[in-house]
Amino acid sequence: LAVATVLLLAGISWLARTTSISELMLNAVALNAILDVDEFLFLGLTPMKFQHGIQSLAPLTVTYSRRRSQWESSVQCLMLFCTMWLPFGLLLR
């Protein structure tokens, strides 16, 4: 989660500094390739037996109360707001 957050912040600031549309498209594709590296490594380095075992795992069931759901939504909204405004604030310096 920490690596994804750092990549998100760095990627947003990197894409925000791009000046032309063609460079923006190229940089967006490059950022997507970087974010997919973990999946490529999993598919390339993990034996098929383990891949099938992981893919056949049953999903976890989580029950939420109304209060917990509202709290998590508030925290996620705050994190989204900070994620969007932090790179903008850094660019204004």
Output the pLDDT for position 52. Answer: 94
**Confidence check: pLDDT of 13 > 80:** yes
List alpha helices for 36-65, DSSP H.
Answer: 37-45, 48-55
Angle between helices 2-16 and 21-35 (to 10 degrees): 170
* pLDDT tens profile 15-66: 888 888 898 899 889 888 888 888 899 999 999 999 999 999 998 887 777 7
**4-8, 50-54, 73-77: least confidently modelled range:** 4-8
* pLDDT tens profile 30-42: 888 888 888 899 9
Output the pLDDT for position 71. Answer: 87
Q: Read off the pTM.
A: 0.49
